[in-house]
Structure formats: C-alpha cells, structure tokens
C-alpha cells in the first residue's frame, strides 16, 4: 500500500522566529509518518533541550510518541514514529531484523560513479580523535551494509539511490566517502559544505563584483525518500514516499541544464 502526500501540516505557534512546516504524510492509531524538512532536529539536542525538534512538535500535537529512528539535522525526508508501545516494539524488531524493511535515500555524490549498482559492506564506528564523527574501523565498528544503484549521472556528480540495511550513524556519508565518492556537499565528510552554480557551470559563469553568489544547496546532499515496513497491527506491507524538497530539486534542475 503506497501512501501519497500530504494529509496535514503542523504549523507550530510556539516557533515564531523559525517557522517549520512539518508535513504529516500519514497517521493512524499506531504510527505517524512525517516528511522532515532540512535543518530540523529529529529529537531534542542533549546540550540544548530548548531547540525545536520533530519529536517536540509531534508530542505537542499527539501526546506521547515513541522514537524509532532518526535523520541527521541537515537530512530531509521520511521518518516514522510510534504512538504506542505495541507499535514501537513491533517496528523496532522489524528494523533490527531487516525483515521487509526498506530505507531508501537520494544521495548526490561528488564524482562519476561508473558501477550501475553495488554494495558497501564496511564496519562503522566512532572516530576517537573527532567527537561526533564516524569512521570505517574493523576494531571499533559495527557491521554496516549499504546497497546502491545509480539513478542519474552528470559530468562531475552522480545521483544514487542508497538502501541502508543497517542503521549506523552517518552510514551513507561514511560509506560513500570510504569508496572515494563523498556526498557533493557535506561539511563533515566531503570536500565542501555547500554547492554553488559556479561549481556546476564552470565555463561562462560570470558574477558582478557587487554580487555575492548564494549556494543552490547549503546542506548535506541527502534525502530519505522511501520507507517501507509491515504495519504493526494490520500486518499489511506499507510504503511511504516524499519527493525531494525545493533545494534538492533546484540543484538537480541546474545539474540537468549545465552539468551534463
């Protein structure tokens, strides 16, 4: 069963300085499916609990909720939350055992990936030298598997669909960096924190001296676009999708125009 956007939108009245429109794709007695915008935390920051987060918005709307997985602050896309302990336990077990679960992302990579598809099977663990950063490590890491296929190629970039079979922190970012194709924009693992038109349209690009170039995409080039699992009560296979947001779409538009 595929569900389409959008059933409702939360406009939080208490977020008057930094309004976030959280799209609720689907909700019933057991689950809530949201399309998280970029630059919004999944859960409260442990060092700054007053920062806005998806879980805080949902709690204000629905009461107690149960967290099943997370997206990095800069990553947009699909998240599922449980409304009760039964749904939380059931879906958590599905995620742990990877039975019929799909978590598929669009990732724009730096460089031209020539393989049509493949897998990256390398253990990921914390980088002891850099707090908050992960690394490939056989001694400290946990088994991590990412499957991928090329969706579109450009002159200097590749758009892939990445299906994570394990849920390690920064998994896609670390895995593609380790094979030489980091995300096109990634301040922690890539070569640049944002992408400009001048990065794509290298020849013939002109900008007046008085004009400051603004980035097309000023965040990690990663979007969680599909999530599939078995509904905890009905036993039906459900699948949800969210198209890339405006910044990602604008970037792809410019790549198709100038980056081929």
Respond yes or no: is residue 72 known to be catalytic.
Answer: yes
Candidate list 72, 163, 186, 199, residue with the active-site label: 72
Cβ contact 5:23 at 8 Å = yes
CA dihedral 84, 90, 91, 95 (to 10 degrees): 150
- 225 closest CA partner among 90, 56, 75, 118: 75
The DSSP annotation for 115-159 comes to: -SEEEEE--EEE-TTSTT-EEE-TTT-B--EEEEEEEEE-SSEEE
Q: What's the number of CA atoms in the CB half-sphere (13 Å) around residue 55?
A: 19
Helix (H) or strand (E) holding 32: strand 31-36
Return the active site residues. Answer: 72
């Amino acid at each position: 069963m595929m569900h389409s956007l959008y059933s409702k939108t939360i406009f939080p009245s208490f977020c008057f300085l930094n309004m976030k429109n959280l799209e609720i794709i689907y909700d019933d007695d057991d689950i809530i499916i949201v399309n998280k915008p970029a630059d919004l935390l999944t859960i409260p920051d442990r060092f700054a609990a007053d920062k806005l987060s998806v879980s805080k918005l949902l709690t204000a709307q629905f009461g107690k909720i149960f967290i099943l997985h997370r997206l990095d602050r800069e990553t947009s896309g699909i998240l599922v939350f449980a409304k009760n302990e039964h749904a939380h336990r059931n879906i958590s077990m599905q995620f742990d055992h990877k039975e019929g679960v799909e978590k598929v992302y669009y990732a724009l990579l730096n460089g031209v990936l020539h393989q049509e598809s493949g897998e990256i099977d390398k253990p990921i663990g914390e980088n002891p030298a850099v707090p908050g950063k992960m690394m490939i490590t056989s001694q400290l890491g946990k088994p991590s598997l990412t499957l991928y296929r090329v969706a579109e190629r450009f002159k200097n970039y590749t758009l892939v669909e990445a299906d994570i079979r394990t849920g390690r922190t920064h998994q896609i970012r670390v895995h593609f960096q380790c094979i030489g194709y980091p995300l096109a924009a990634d301040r922690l693992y890539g070569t640049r924190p944002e992408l400009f038109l001048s990065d794509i349209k290298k020849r013939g690009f002109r900008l007046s001296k008085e004009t400051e170039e603004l980035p097309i995409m000023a965040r990690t080039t990663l979007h969680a676009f599909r999530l599939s699992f078995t509904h905890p009560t009905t036993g039906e296979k459900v699948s949800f999708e969210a198209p890339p947001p405006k910044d990602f779409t604008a970037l792809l538009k410019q790549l198709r125009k100038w980056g081929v």
